[in-house]
Structure 1
Amino acid sequence: MDDGRQTVWAFVGEGGRWPSAIFTTKRLAEEWISARGLTGMLTEYRIDDPVYEWAVANGHFQPSRPEHSTADFIGRFTTAHQAHEHYEDGAAG
Protein backbone atom coordinates (compact mmCIF):
# COMPACT_ATOMS: atom_id res chain seq x y z
CA MET A 1 0.00 0.00 0.00
CA ASP A 2 2.97 2.30 -0.44
CA ASP A 3 1.35 5.23 -2.25
CA GLY A 4 2.13 7.97 0.24
CA ARG A 5 -1.07 7.62 2.28
CA GLN A 6 -0.70 7.28 6.03
CA THR A 7 -1.01 3.73 7.36
CA VAL A 8 -0.98 1.86 10.65
CA TRP A 9 -0.10 -1.73 11.52
CA ALA A 10 -2.56 -3.81 13.56
CA PHE A 11 -1.59 -6.98 15.40
CA VAL A 12 -4.19 -9.68 16.07
CA GLY A 13 -3.01 -12.58 18.18
CA GLU A 14 -3.76 -16.13 17.11
CA GLY A 15 -7.41 -16.86 17.84
CA GLY A 16 -8.12 -13.20 18.57
CA ARG A 17 -11.06 -11.31 17.17
CA TRP A 18 -9.71 -7.79 17.62
CA PRO A 19 -6.31 -6.12 17.46
CA SER A 20 -4.30 -6.14 20.66
CA ALA A 21 -2.06 -3.32 19.43
CA ILE A 22 -1.83 -0.67 16.71
CA PHE A 23 1.51 0.78 15.57
CA THR A 24 2.60 3.62 13.33
CA THR A 25 5.45 1.56 11.85
CA LYS A 26 6.07 -2.07 11.08
CA ARG A 27 9.44 -1.86 12.84
CA LEU A 28 7.85 -0.88 16.16
CA ALA A 29 5.28 -3.63 15.80
CA GLU A 30 7.91 -6.27 15.07
CA GLU A 31 10.01 -5.19 18.06
CA TRP A 32 6.96 -5.63 20.33
CA ILE A 33 5.96 -8.96 18.77
CA SER A 34 9.50 -10.32 19.03
CA ALA A 35 10.09 -9.12 22.61
CA ARG A 36 6.95 -10.94 23.77
CA GLY A 37 7.23 -14.06 21.61
CA LEU A 38 3.77 -13.51 20.12
CA THR A 39 1.93 -15.58 17.54
CA GLY A 40 -0.54 -13.93 15.20
CA MET A 41 -0.82 -11.64 12.21
CA LEU A 42 0.32 -8.07 11.60
CA THR A 43 -1.62 -6.21 8.89
CA GLU A 44 -1.20 -2.77 7.36
CA TYR A 45 -4.31 -0.54 7.18
CA ARG A 46 -4.64 2.76 5.36
CA ILE A 47 -6.10 5.54 7.47
CA ASP A 48 -9.47 6.89 6.24
CA ASP A 49 -9.63 4.29 3.45
CA PRO A 50 -11.88 1.31 4.28
CA VAL A 51 -10.54 -2.08 3.18
CA TYR A 52 -13.66 -2.96 1.16
CA GLU A 53 -13.55 0.27 -0.87
CA TRP A 54 -9.77 -0.01 -1.33
CA ALA A 55 -10.05 -3.59 -2.59
CA VAL A 56 -12.86 -2.76 -5.04
CA ALA A 57 -11.14 0.40 -6.33
CA ASN A 58 -7.87 -1.47 -6.91
CA GLY A 59 -9.43 -4.48 -8.62
CA HIS A 60 -8.71 -6.90 -5.78
CA PHE A 61 -12.39 -7.67 -5.23
CA GLN A 62 -15.41 -7.49 -7.52
CA PRO A 63 -18.80 -7.67 -5.81
CA SER A 64 -20.66 -10.40 -7.68
CA ARG A 65 -23.54 -11.36 -5.38
CA PRO A 66 -26.18 -9.26 -3.62
CA GLU A 67 -24.75 -10.12 -0.18
CA HIS A 68 -21.44 -8.53 -1.20
CA SER A 69 -23.10 -5.14 -0.71
CA THR A 70 -24.61 -5.80 2.71
CA ALA A 71 -23.47 -4.05 5.86
CA ASP A 72 -22.63 -7.39 7.48
CA PHE A 73 -20.36 -8.44 4.60
CA ILE A 74 -18.62 -5.07 4.29
CA GLY A 75 -18.18 -4.81 8.07
CA ARG A 76 -16.29 -8.14 8.17
CA PHE A 77 -14.43 -7.77 4.86
CA THR A 78 -10.72 -8.52 4.71
CA THR A 79 -8.37 -9.24 1.83
CA ALA A 80 -5.05 -11.00 1.47
CA HIS A 81 -3.98 -8.12 -0.81
CA GLN A 82 -3.20 -5.97 2.22
CA ALA A 83 0.41 -6.03 3.34
CA HIS A 84 0.57 -8.54 6.18
CA GLU A 85 2.95 -10.86 7.97
CA HIS A 86 2.40 -13.98 10.06
CA TYR A 87 4.40 -14.50 13.27
CA GLU A 88 5.00 -17.56 15.39
CA ASP A 89 6.60 -17.28 18.81
CA GLY A 90 7.78 -13.77 17.90
CA ALA A 91 9.40 -14.65 14.57
CA ALA A 92 8.10 -13.82 11.09
CA GLY A 93 7.27 -16.84 9.08
Structure 2
Amino acid sequence: MKELWVFNGAMARFPSALFSSLGDAESWIRRNKLTGVLTKYPVDKSAYDWAVENDFFIPKEGKQKSSDFIGGFTCAAMEHYHYENGNKE
Protein backbone atom coordinates (compact mmCIF):
# COMPACT_ATOMS: atom_id res chain seq x y z
CA MET A 1 0.00 0.00 0.00
CA LYS A 2 1.24 3.47 -0.86
CA GLU A 3 1.02 5.82 2.10
CA LEU A 4 1.73 9.34 3.26
CA TRP A 5 2.27 10.76 6.72
CA VAL A 6 0.07 13.82 7.31
CA PHE A 7 0.77 16.31 10.10
CA ASN A 8 -2.03 18.35 11.65
CA GLY A 9 -0.98 21.01 14.13
CA ALA A 10 -2.92 21.21 17.39
CA MET A 11 -4.73 24.41 16.45
CA ALA A 12 -4.70 23.97 12.68
CA ARG A 13 -7.80 23.54 10.58
CA PHE A 14 -5.90 21.91 7.71
CA PRO A 15 -2.77 19.73 7.44
CA SER A 16 0.52 21.60 7.37
CA ALA A 17 2.77 18.90 5.89
CA LEU A 18 2.85 15.59 4.04
CA PHE A 19 5.77 13.18 4.15
CA SER A 20 6.60 9.91 2.41
CA SER A 21 8.52 8.61 5.43
CA LEU A 22 7.92 8.58 9.17
CA GLY A 23 11.56 9.48 9.82
CA ASP A 24 11.43 12.65 7.71
CA ALA A 25 8.17 13.67 9.35
CA GLU A 26 9.51 13.18 12.86
CA SER A 27 12.71 15.08 12.08
CA TRP A 28 10.67 18.04 10.87
CA ILE A 29 8.38 17.88 13.93
CA ARG A 30 11.36 17.74 16.34
CA ARG A 31 13.27 20.50 14.54
CA ASN A 32 10.29 22.84 14.72
CA LYS A 33 9.13 21.76 18.22
CA LEU A 34 5.60 21.15 16.94
CA THR A 35 2.48 20.02 18.76
CA GLY A 36 -0.10 17.97 16.90
CA VAL A 37 -0.88 14.59 15.36
CA LEU A 38 0.95 12.67 12.64
CA THR A 39 -1.24 10.12 10.84
CA LYS A 40 -0.47 7.55 8.16
CA TYR A 41 -2.98 7.78 5.31
CA PRO A 42 -3.31 5.48 2.31
CA VAL A 43 -2.75 7.09 -1.09
CA ASP A 44 -5.61 6.91 -3.61
CA LYS A 45 -8.08 5.77 -0.93
CA SER A 46 -10.18 7.68 1.56
CA ALA A 47 -9.97 7.10 5.31
CA TYR A 48 -13.65 6.08 5.17
CA ASP A 49 -13.12 3.46 2.44
CA TRP A 50 -9.97 2.16 4.18
CA ALA A 51 -11.81 1.78 7.50
CA VAL A 52 -14.79 0.01 5.90
CA GLU A 53 -12.58 -2.33 3.84
CA ASN A 54 -10.53 -3.25 6.93
CA ASP A 55 -13.59 -3.74 9.18
CA PHE A 56 -12.70 -0.83 11.47
CA PHE A 57 -16.00 0.85 10.67
CA ILE A 58 -19.36 -0.55 9.58
CA PRO A 59 -21.93 2.06 8.48
CA LYS A 60 -25.19 1.32 10.32
CA GLU A 61 -27.34 4.35 9.55
CA GLY A 62 -28.12 6.21 6.35
CA LYS A 63 -26.37 9.35 7.61
CA GLN A 64 -23.14 7.31 7.96
CA LYS A 65 -23.20 6.91 4.18
CA SER A 66 -23.83 10.61 3.48
CA SER A 67 -21.36 12.87 1.72
CA ASP A 68 -21.06 15.13 4.79
CA PHE A 69 -20.19 12.16 7.01
CA ILE A 70 -17.74 10.60 4.53
CA GLY A 71 -16.06 13.97 3.85
CA GLY A 72 -15.37 14.54 7.54
CA PHE A 73 -14.54 10.95 8.48
CA THR A 74 -11.39 10.07 10.40
CA CYS A 75 -10.46 6.76 11.96
CA ALA A 76 -8.61 6.27 15.24
CA ALA A 77 -7.50 2.83 14.00
CA MET A 78 -5.15 4.48 11.49
CA GLU A 79 -1.55 4.52 12.67
CA HIS A 80 -0.94 7.88 14.32
CA TYR A 81 1.27 9.59 16.88
CA HIS A 82 0.80 12.60 19.14
CA TYR A 83 3.55 15.20 19.67
CA GLU A 84 3.98 17.93 22.23
CA ASN A 85 6.67 20.58 21.56
CA GLY A 86 8.37 18.17 19.15
CA ASN A 87 8.36 15.17 21.49
CA LYS A 88 6.36 12.01 20.83
CA GLU A 89 3.88 11.35 23.63
Give the alignment's TM-score, normalised by structure 2: 0.97
Shift of 1:67: 0.5
Identity within the alignment, %: 43
Structure 2 counterpart of 1:54, which letter? W
Structure 1 counterpart of 2:46, which letter? P
Per the alignment, residue 30 of structure 1 pairs with 26
Counterpart-to-counterpart distance in 2, 1:51 and 1:81: 10
Shift of 1:81: 0.6
Per the alignment, residue 40 of structure 1 pairs with 36
| 2:70 is the alignment partner of 1:70 | no
Q: Deviations over 1:17-42 (max 9, x none)?
A: 11100001010000000001000000
Give the alignment's TM-score, normalised by structure 1: 0.93
1:21 aligned residue (17, 31, 50)? 17
Helix, strand or coil at the partner of 1:33 = helix
Counterpart-to-counterpart distance in 1, 2:6 and 2:49: 19
Per the alignment, residue 49 of structure 1 pairs with 45
Provide the aligned C-alpha RMSD in A: 0.6
Shift of 1:15: 1.7
Shift of 1:16: 1.1
How many residue pairs get aligned? The number is 89
Q: Which runs of 5+ in 2 are unaligned?
A: none
Counterpart-to-counterpart distance in 2, 1:72 and 1:17: 17
